[in-house]
Structure 1
Amino acid sequence: MKKLLYFLILALITIQTAQAHVGSSGVLMQGQAGPYKVLIDVKPPDVIPGTARITVFVETGNAEKIFVRPIYFRSGDKGAPSSDEIQPVKDQPGQFQGDIWLMERGSSSVQIQISGKEGKGEFIVPIAAVSTAQRAMPKSLGIGLSILGLLLFLLMITAIGASVSDGILRPGDVLSARQKRKRWINMGIATIVCGLILYGGSSWWNSWAHEYKEFMYKPLTGSSSLKQDGDQRVFQLKIDTTNWEGRKRGSLLSTLIPDHGKLMHVFLVRTPGLDAFAHIHPERTDSTTFQSYLPNLPAGKYLVYADIVQYSGFAETIVDTLDIPEHVLKNADLKKTAEEDTYVITDALNSPGKIPIDDNVVICGKPGTKTVFKDSSYAIWEGKPDRPLEAGKPYLLNFEVFNPDGTPTFPEPYLGMMGHVAVLRSDGSVYIHLHPTGTFAMAAEQTLKNRLSDTTRLIKRPSPKIFRDSIDRYLGKLKSMSTLEREELLMTEMGMYKTDGSAMTNMEHGNRISFPYSFPKSGRYRIFFQVKRNGQVLTGAFDAQVRDTTTL
């Protein structure tokens, strides 16, 4: 029964996987567009070609006009369509909304241009434009079109027959036997020709539908396992490349790019209580295999979410489950693949506060309450604990971090950001890795910004070996740096610091950290909040209840 339950959980989260997250297809992004601070909500279509809904919330400044246009990674700025203006929302000051067509599948971005009293500003929002659904024609529409098509078919044949008989008769004349025979012959020929045309059209349509179905987005799959290295366990993830030739995946695994300085981010969460959590960074050992030392996680069944980013900026999440057996350590000094690798144990969803306290245990909080880190500092999630959140509504998840004595503390850069958040629904059907700038991979934003300034009309796939060697050299360079040097480089590359290192451009450096997010559906959620303090990565946990307002 347990095996069946875990199989159903895995099947559910695999079916709902969409690009870089699980169950969260939209993009929320916050930042500065020139003089305007904005929050942007993009809801991409699940069918390509299709329309994406763009909502822009102008938080500071007086915006008057906003223009948007899609820019595809493959064709760049030179191959992009002209901009469309989106309109102000009635009775919602500072809010603009509109739709844009996405015609090409793959890695894309939306360019948002704002003008107003304070001047002009521009913003680039990375999105993944892929078909994840197939629309069925309504039965009533199908019947109606079939009847109309039959009538048109009969009218066409009748018209062709009349054109060689009744249509050429003089007033008062009667069709001769020869003319009647000619009419029937021509109607027969017309029936055959029209039938062939219909058959050809039907074959073309079926072929196109088959190709569409064949190239609908299918997420990467992989299998995770454990192996032993002396007294320590090693986590291993192998990406499944079965049938890749038909899917035209090509040399994808040789053209991955680092996000926050890591080629892969893996989150392990014990199910069903979501009471054990790890954030690790496996390294590539060959084209399909990634591995890293496993923290001292307790035994149980774990959900595995592995994030990677392609050279085009297209981000994906590989989903799996992993059984971790009980393990007795003989040596307390565990190795780490990356110094940022960390884990935490907390109370289960259904047993709040009921857990023995030790060095790696934190008690889960909720909005308006605090969660205490293992170094006795703590974080508070702003909000009211007795007020459920609403599904589909854009939120800023605001956290404040304090020293043990209650004074504000300023987190240190952690993988180029001031903080990270992982959001999971209780059944594992929703997972997302958030940053203070938004719900997208930072590597995707960098790639698409660079593509905007590139004048190449059609970009070519890079040489896999040359590309991979350059990435390996870059990763080796990062490893050889001190922590301070590495964080400064990552933040500079991601635009978090000005080139002189004097100030941040996209994030405020304080004890308050905000993460934009819209919960996709109702249910119970657990939020793992991570910051760095005194050189140590700290993880806290919060729970939230989300309701579906459409049923109220």
Structure 2
Amino acid sequence: MNLTVSNKRIPSRVIRLALFYSLILSFTHSLIATAHVGSSGVIVQKQVGKYQLLISIKPPDVVPGTAIVTVFVEQGRASSIGARPIYFRSGDKGAPTHDILKPVGDNRYEGDLWLMESGSSSIELSIDGPDGKQQVVVPVVAMATALRTMPEGTGFGLAVMGLLLVVMLITIIGASNSDGVLTPGQKAPATLGRRRLVGMGVGLAVIALILTGWRSWWASTAEDYRDVQLYRPTPINTSVRIANAQRQLTIQFDTTGFGTGRRTRRLFSFLLPDHGKLMHAFLVRTPGLDAFAHLHPNRRDSLDYESALPPLPGGKYLLYADVVYRSGFAETLTDTVEIPSLKITAEAAANAKPTDPDDSWLVTEPMGVKASAVNIPHLDNDMVVCGKPGASMKLADGSSMIWMDKPSQILEAGKLYSLKFAVADAQGKAASLEPYLGMGGHAAILRSDGSVYIHLHPVGTYSMAAEGSLVNRIADTTRTFHYPNAARFKDSIDTYVAKLKTLPEAEKNKLLVASMPGMSHAMKINNMVEFPYAFPRAGHYRIWVQVKRKGQVLTGVFDTQVNEPLL
């Protein structure tokens, strides 16, 4: 049997696997997440032509499976929106035609889209209407991330029904082998009962062989899913050493388990720079989340990265390191590291230089709930902005960052928000911002227990390098992608990253912006930056917002409470 979806024939083997995975995954909850810890799905806010779009894509937790695609047309007149998956390995030539999304409200479109292959992929949206035709490519990591078990009651019920069907089938086979040989009016021979028993015996043996083979296939497929298909983050080993009166952070990819399955393998020589950096490493001290650093370690070889640590206080830190592979596969590597305290002279501290000029850090008050209030963390809801709750914080240069247009004091999980922040100088006037790593700003969001983390950009929750890689792959006319020489590719990337560090700030940002043509997200007022996001779970969250002003990276920090939505 074959099935046709969007003019593409799907082999019956894929259909069987899809049904198998759908069955074993229909009874419990997802256990792990992929590129962004605890934040599944992709949120994109983009201006293309006359259309301003807010896009939400929730990929399946098992592949083959269906992704839920939602598009809000915030500006522009659209009459139809089509969507299709494009996989990195097969490219545009191997992709199906567009499925038309269904209008479900004013300027809102939704639809389910089958993703048939694991790995790096993208959703291409085709917008048509009075304001013209436009296309948008959204990177999506399609990986199996859920492991589920069948409830005992359901298993017992299915076993009873299966046993009943087997008994009925054996009875039918026995009857057909005996009664079926009689002609109308013929007297039953003495051997009829023996023939019935022989038929039932043969039927039982055949059914036992079929069930044994089916059981073997089921167990093999389940084992393959658990050990091979199921996504497992790349393990890393993180350590800190002291050299020349400065602490050095080392991040090493752990390759000891590479022989266990293809899903654990990564092509570490084929990392892509995102915003000009091969790795974005975020350090947050636990449990108070009071010390924060955004670092960009240097690559020493394919597996080892190093960075000088800023003057952070000692303690236990959570580490989140974002990397992007040549295929567009984006991954967050996680670890914990103990940073020792280090007492050095003021002169030594002044002479210490960061590994990267764009490294930044902040030490502030611990996260917690005020004793005099309920559900109000520190650094939140201390002011009212235009009649709405807001928050403000003094920045390192004397200016202030303000959280604007907050819908309410307590936010709701699963609801899509536009997190908007503004910067005012010491006199309260709008303070113009400069590009930081080619964009208006960056944000990192962390749940108090570290279970939810995401690195946000004004255009959304995805990697710019991943989008560039997938857009270039779509433009490629070849059906199958072939990787270049690993050593040459690595050397070319290292040369590019090293060159960026030597360029003046204006020239570097110009080059970064040119490499990310679809990333423009200009604000009407140059002192503002906003990020689209939906908090996945209830809890206390801390938000670090990073902007650049007069050549200095400034970090604002805000806390907020997120509750489950009211029914």
TM-score by length of 1: 0.89
Query: Which residue is 1:8 aligned to?
Result: none
CA distance in 2, matches of 1:520, 1:393: 8
Is 1:166 the counterpart of 2:179? The answer is yes
Cα gap change, 1:107 to 1:93, in 2 (>3 Å): same
Cα gap change, 1:17 to 1:477, in 2 (>3 Å): farther
Question: How much has 1:136 moved relative to structure 2?
Answer: 2.7
SS at match of 1:18: coil
Query: Which residue is 1:232 aligned to?
Result: 246
Query: Which residue is 1:460 aligned to?
Result: 482
Question: How much has 1:17 moved relative to structure 2?
Answer: 5.4
Query: Which residue is 1:190 aligned to?
Result: 203
Match of 2:291 among 260, 273, 276: 276
8 Å CA contact retained: 1:41, 1:394: no
8 Å CA contact retained: 1:432, 1:439: yes
Query: Which residue is 1:84 aligned to?
Result: 99
Query: Which residue is 2:541 aligned to?
Result: 525
Query: Which residue is 2:558 aligned to?
Result: 542
CA distance in 1, matches of 2:522, 2:212: 59
Is 1:143 the counterpart of 2:156? The answer is yes
Cα gap change, 1:475 to 1:386, in 2 (>3 Å): closer
Moved more, 431-440 or 283-292: 283-292
Moved more, 141-150 or 129-138: 141-150
Query: Which residue is 2:231 aligned to?
Result: 217
Query: Which residue is 2:340 aligned to?
Result: 325
Moved more, 459-468 or 397-406: 459-468
SS at match of 1:22: coil
Query: Which residue is 2:76 aligned to?
Result: 61
SS at match of 1:21: coil
Match of 1:334 among 349, 352, 355: 352
Is 1:35 the counterpart of 2:50? The answer is yes
Query: Which residue is 2:395 aligned to?
Result: 373
**Residues 381-423 of structure 1, C-alpha deviations (whole Å, 9 max, x = no match):** 1135962111100111111122222222221111111100000
CA distance in 1, matches of 2:122, 2:142: 9
For 1:280-299, list aligned pairs within 5 A: 280-299=295-314
Match of 1:345 among 363, 383, 389: 363
Query: Which residue is 2:190 aligned to?
Result: 177
The number of aligned residues is: 519
8 Å CA contact retained: 2:412, 2:563: yes
**Residues 444-468 of structure 1, C-alpha deviations (whole Å, 9 max, x = no match):** 1111111221222222344332322
Cα gap change, 1:352 to 1:296, in 2 (>3 Å): farther
Is 1:489 the counterpart of 2:505? The answer is no
TM-score by length of 2: 0.87
Question: How much has 1:69 moved relative to structure 2?
Answer: 1.4
8 Å CA contact retained: 1:162, 1:183: yes
Query: Which residue is 1:134 aligned to?
Result: 147
8 Å CA contact retained: 1:43, 1:53: yes
CA distance in 2, matches of 1:188, 1:522: 59
**Residues 276-323 of structure 1, C-alpha deviations (whole Å, 9 max, x = no match):** 111111111122211111000012221111111111111111111122
Is 1:444 the counterpart of 2:466? The answer is yes
8 Å CA contact retained: 2:175, 2:199: no
CA distance in 2, matches of 1:450, 1:244: 29
CA distance in 2, matches of 1:175, 1:329: 105
Unmatched runs of 5 consecutive residues or more in structure 2: 1-29, 372-377, 382-388
CA distance in 1, matches of 2:370, 2:161: 63
Query: Which residue is 2:256 aligned to?
Result: 242
Question: How much has 1:477 moved relative to structure 2?
Answer: 2.6
Cα gap change, 1:391 to 1:405, in 2 (>3 Å): same
**Residues 473-523 of structure 1, C-alpha deviations (whole Å, 9 max, x = no match):** 2223323322222211111101158xxxxxxx4434722211010001111
CA distance in 1, matches of 2:137, 2:407: 35
CA distance in 1, matches of 2:205, 2:335: 54
8 Å CA contact retained: 2:542, 2:557: yes
8 Å CA contact retained: 1:251, 1:464: no
**Residues 72-122 of structure 1, C-alpha deviations (whole Å, 9 max, x = no match):** 111122212222222122xx4111122111121111111111222222222
CA distance in 2, matches of 1:52, 1:423: 24
Cα gap change, 1:83 to 1:528, in 2 (>3 Å): same
Query: Which residue is 2:404 aligned to?
Result: 382
CA distance in 1, matches of 2:190, 2:87: 65
Query: Which residue is 2:21 aligned to?
Result: none
8 Å CA contact retained: 1:436, 1:507: no
Is 1:515 the counterpart of 2:537? The answer is no
8 Å CA contact retained: 2:31, 2:146: no
SS at match of 1:104: coil
SS at match of 1:194: helix
Moved more, 449-458 or 381-390: 381-390
